[in-house]
Chains A and B, each alone.
Chain A
């Protein structure tokens, strides 16, 4: 047994070293599995909680075009949550179990979503900065050693890049609009800039999981490296927008060939992580309420499905069609009624 286990460990290490993908049926170290479940669950939870600050503006979007874009984006986020829960389920956990952990505070979501959206421009700032930071973090995950996660990230990143451009374009319209619109855009960037930089996590010397995750090729770059990359991308983009970034210490460093920037308020970061941010309570309460108030609906669906279980080989049950993701039910229905 001992030699088999060693052999498995060696095969796993060799596969990771050779940049091969680990797949659900492959042997993997328990700690690797646990780390991935934690990270993917947190990622899925972030998509779901992240719907709230933006959904806050759906009913107030100032033009029908913007309203359609925002609705589509929030819908995409629910879809991303679904991919990521599915990917996490390949590791032997279940979506319900993960949601329970979110609702009871045993698993976290990105701290950024504990900030409020106070004006319409926040929708643009979230697209540009928050989605921008997420993409900077997530593009390397497309090469992550765990296959299902890497493949989910390819799909997620494509849609996120689209959202980011839409957010940027929204800010561009505001910045070049009336003085009041310009001011709204600047105010939003002022409020979202630092929280976005915190999305890369604690500095490298304080990051608990970094070293191990990099060895396992779950993570490809350090927090500080990704943060620096993000700052370097944003500075010229802010100039094009005609907006400033709220950091007096931000300047080009000729020697490093990168931007220097000011110190992050890590006290605030830790407070938000601990649950003391501006919206922590509100976000989790809304999520719990949606889940609790929806319980009777999910129970009804389960009860109906049990009563109307399809005969083996007899085609789908009457209640089994849904267009979310696939169009299976729709096409059969359309043929039947056309």
Chain B
């Protein structure tokens, strides 16, 4: 009544933001989990699973802020997921996975750093997660350097991966309801960091549009790309086959 948000309004905002961030972590974790047993080296089996586990841990905390973690993960349809289109993109080759990691972890790191400082329901989570995400960013950065500045073949693949995924990065800076973030500063910081890594990797910045044309912001509105449906069909199948069961 006096202009300050009521508890209910604050809850709605918190839920919306928790879903957006939680879905990002959940879906990317799932994609990384698909690498198990297929990675290019044993050390990468360990590293990719490690990152997937960190993200799944974050997803569980975030989804629990919004409701029941399993209900939210397993019983929502495609149109109700709020993750970025970037994180649902198929793994592709190792370069695509690394480009996706570079773009996302750089974003997540900058976002969580702001959340650590800010006064929101996500401060405690961000304080814990920021350490994990700094490692994810480090891993992605070093692989971007190795692949970009490795062999002609790896350079070609890394370059193609960065360009293919570039169009999904515009959505990263679409403001999320419930997050008090300086989005312009986030975007600027992200661009500076990514540009620096790509240049050191002898890759250069992709030239295509970063907004993804009219689909900008689509993931956050529950409008996903086609590979997403089959992915969650696989993820949810067993849970949905046994309604009400506990595991």
Asked if A303 meets B151 with Cβ closer than 8 Å, knowing A60-B237, A321-B142, the reply is yes
Asked if residues A321 and B138 are in contact (CB atoms below 8 Å), the reply is: yes
Asked if residues B41 and A298 are in contact (CB atoms below 8 Å), the reply is: yes
Chain A contact residue count (CB 8 A cutoff): 62
- Give complex CA distance A173, B56 in Å: 22
Asked if residues B146 and A304 are in contact (CB atoms below 8 Å), the reply is: yes
Chain B CB within 8 A of A228 CB: no
- List A contacts of B53 (CB < 8 A): 68, 71-72, 75
Task: Choose, from A145-153, A176-184, A190-198, the stretch at the interface.
Answer: A176-184
Chain B CB within 8 A of A297 CB: yes
- List B contacts of A4 (CB < 8 A): none
Closest to A52 in B: B37
Closest to A297 in B: B40
A134 smallest CB distance to B (angstroms): 18
Asked if residues A51 and B41 are in contact (CB atoms below 8 Å), the reply is: no
Chain A CB within 8 A of B205 CB: no
Asked if residues B42 and A81 are in contact (CB atoms below 8 Å), the reply is: yes
Q: In chain B, residues 140-166, which have Cβ atoms closer than 8 Å to a Cβ of chain A?
A: 142, 145-147, 149-151, 153-154, 157
Task: Choose, from B2-10, B43-51, B119-127, the stretch at the interface.
Answer: B43-51
Asked if A58 meets B246 with Cβ closer than 8 Å, knowing A64-B70, A296-B151, A304-B149, the reply is no
A2 smallest CB distance to B (angstroms): 43
- List B contacts of A296 (CB < 8 A): 151, 153-154, 157
Chain B CB within 8 A of A241 CB: no
Classify chain B: how many residues form its interface, as a range.
35 or more
Chain B CB within 8 A of A74 CB: yes
- List A contacts of B70 (CB < 8 A): 63-64
Task: Tell me which of A68, A290, A297 contacts B60 (CB under 8 A).
Answer: A68
Chain B CB within 8 A of A323 CB: yes
The tally of CB-CB contacts under 8 A between chains A and B is 176
- List A contacts of B44 (CB < 8 A): 294, 297
Given contacts A322-B139, A330-B134, 5 further A-B contacts (CB under 8 A): A55-B37, A64-B60, A301-B41, A304-B145, A324-B50
- Give complex CA distance A273, B110 in Å: 53
- List A contacts of B234 (CB < 8 A): 59-60
Task: Tell me which of B39, B52, B154, B247 contacts A173 (CB under 8 A).
Answer: B247
- List B contacts of A66 (CB < 8 A): 247
Chain B CB within 8 A of A94 CB: no
- Give complex CA distance A231, B73 in Å: 39
Q: In chain B, residues 193-208, which have Cβ atoms closer than 8 Å to a Cβ of chain A?
A: none
Chain B CB within 8 A of A31 CB: no
Asked if residues B47 and A323 are in contact (CB atoms below 8 Å), the reply is: yes
The CB with the most chain B CB atoms within 10 A, among A59, A72, A173, is that of: A59
Chain B CB within 8 A of A299 CB: yes
- List A contacts of B74 (CB < 8 A): 62-63
Asked if A300 meets B146 with Cβ closer than 8 Å, knowing A63-B70, A294-B94, A334-B134, the reply is yes
A143 smallest CB distance to B (angstroms): 27
- Give complex CA distance A322, B43 in Å: 9
Asked if residues B59 and A64 are in contact (CB atoms below 8 Å), the reply is: yes
Closest to A292 in B: B40
Task: Tell me which of A58, A63, A286 contacts B247 (CB under 8 A).
Answer: A63
Asked if residues B46 and A286 are in contact (CB atoms below 8 Å), the reply is: no
Which 10 pairs from chain A and chain B are nearest by CB? Answer: A294-B40, A300-B150, A300-B154, A75-B49, A55-B36, A78-B45, A297-B40, A304-B146, A324-B46, A55-B37
- List A contacts of B38 (CB < 8 A): 286, 289-290, 293
